[in-house]
């Protein structure tokens, strides 16, 4: 249990530390309701912590059985007189960072954007010049900070931008970014996402990555630079790129099937990765068919084909395999598959691949 509460705190907050949102409305397997608790009695802190640590907390973002809580943060609770929303995001359409803010904080920002888009304010930052004082001041004013609080908020915004750059973040989201009854601007709660490509220079940050809450198969996939997300269907999706993965899952659904997962190879693919990917997919008892959908831009389709044939032989694949390849060295790849003598079904495009994968499961 980590504590940030001083001995003379008027009120104390306890927060279950799991990698999921919706903790406040969650339910513990101990029967305790709520992953966030406030108390003015220090003697109650231990009792609450005992009902949290070691028990599963189920929220809208966890599996039904919840996630085991191993840590609880204890901190001084502050009275919030007003809440706003502030974030710094890396925006491709702007080729750099963008400040995003709203005077309506403490709520789902997507809801605000849908119902009151005029309350969303943006400031595009020149990545070379950096944030300007005028931009920080304008954002603070748009968030509704007045008088001396406006300068205080602008100063916090500039510090958050410097942090964003220093830690190679892709997102720094503060919600609520608010003020206290004592007239202080405070970052009450925050979420930070980091650029995976910056791991080599952010070793201390990435060393803090807690994978204990991940599924074992996700951790195993990460060992081979593969990204795995489990779903509840029976058709395994083996793709390169998150966008292609989502499109593959969607088209399986449209053709009456259900994806069992998606496994993303990424860009720099090696035969060994393909083999390990098949090993992971075939270890899942739910998988009744595998759909390979590769668009070879920076990925060499021939490497994929060699990896597929090696995996099929060595793992003695027992489920139907449908392969759609397109892009670099695709003709060589198709020759490798067709001359392998293995029961591999080729597809001309994604629609054809999805139909064949769904049909192969229906035959069983």
220 is an active site residue: no
d(Cα 37, Cα 24) in Å, to the nearest integer? Answer: 8
Question: Please, which residues have CB within 8 angstroms of residue 215's CB and are 6 or more apart in sequence?
Answer: 228, 230
> Which phi and psi (to 5°) does residue 101 adopt?
-145, 160
* Catalytic site residue from 85, 161, 228, 275: 85
Q: Where do the DSSP E strands lie in 265-343?
A: 289-296, 321-327
Rg of the chain (C-alpha set): 25
85 is catalytic: yes
Q: Which two tokens stand for residue 3?
A: 């504590």
Torsion of CA 342, 343, 344, 345, to 10 degrees: 150
Q: Which residues contact 281 (CB under 8 A, 6 or more apart)?
A: 236, 238, 261, 263, 287, 290
Three-state secondary-structure class, residue 270: coil
Give the Å distances, CA to CA, from 2 to 5, 68, 75, 231: 9, 17, 8, 34
Listing DSSP states for 99-151 in one string gives EEEES--SS-HHHHHHH-GGG-EEEEPPTTT---HHHHHHHHHHTT--THHHH
Site of tokens 């397109």:
326
Cβ–Cβ under 8 Å, residues 26 and 66: yes
**Residue from 123, 156, 173, 179 carrying the catalytic annotation:** 173
Element (H, E) at 215: none
Q: Which active-site residues does the annotation give?
A: 85, 173
């Amino acid at each position: 249990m980590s504590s940030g509460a001083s001995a003379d705190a008027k009120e104390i907050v306890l927060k279950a530390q799991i990698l999921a949102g919706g903790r406040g409305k969650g339910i513990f397997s101990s029967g305790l309701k709520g992953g966030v608790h406030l108390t003015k009695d220090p003697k109650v802190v231990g009792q609450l912590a005992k009902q949290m640590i070691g028990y599963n907390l189920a929220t809208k973002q966890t599996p039904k059985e919840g996630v085991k809580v191993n840590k609880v943060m204890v901190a001084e609770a502050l009275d919030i007189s007003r809440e706003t929303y502030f974030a710094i995001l890396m925006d491709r359409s702007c080729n750099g960072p963008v400040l995003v803010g709203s005077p309506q904080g403490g709520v789902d920002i997507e809801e605000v954007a849908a119902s009151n888009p005029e309350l969303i304010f943006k400031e595009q930052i020149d990545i070379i010049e950096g944030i300007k004082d005028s931009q920080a001041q304008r954002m603070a004013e748009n968030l509704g900070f007045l008088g001396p609080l406006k300068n205080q908020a602008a100063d916090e915004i500039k510090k958050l931008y410097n942090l964003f750059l220093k830690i190679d973040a892709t997102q720094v989201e503060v919600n609520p970014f608010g003020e206290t009854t004592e007239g202080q601007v405070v970052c009450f709660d925050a979420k930070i996402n980091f650029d995976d490509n910056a791991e080599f220079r952010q070793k201390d940050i990435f060393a803090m990555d807690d994978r204990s809450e991940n599924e074992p198969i996700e951790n195993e996939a990460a060992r081979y630079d593969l990204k795995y997300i489990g779903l509840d269907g029976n058709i395994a999706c083996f793709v390169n790129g998150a966008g292609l993965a989502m499109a593959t899952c969607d088209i399986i659904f449209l053709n009456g099937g259900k994806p069992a997962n998606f496994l993303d190879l990424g860009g720099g693919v090696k035969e060994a990765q393909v083999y390990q990917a098949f090993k992971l997919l075939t270890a899942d008892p739910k998988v009744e068919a595998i759909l390979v959908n590769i668009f070879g831009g920076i990925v060499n389709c021939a490497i994929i084909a060699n990896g597929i044939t090696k995996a099929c032989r060595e793992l003695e694949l027992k489920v139907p395999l449908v392969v759609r390849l397109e892009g670099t060295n695709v003709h060589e790849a198709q020759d490798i598959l067709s001359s392998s003598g293995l029961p591999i079904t080729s597809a001309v495009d994604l629609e054809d691949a999805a139909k064949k994968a769904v049909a192969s499961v229906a035959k069983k």
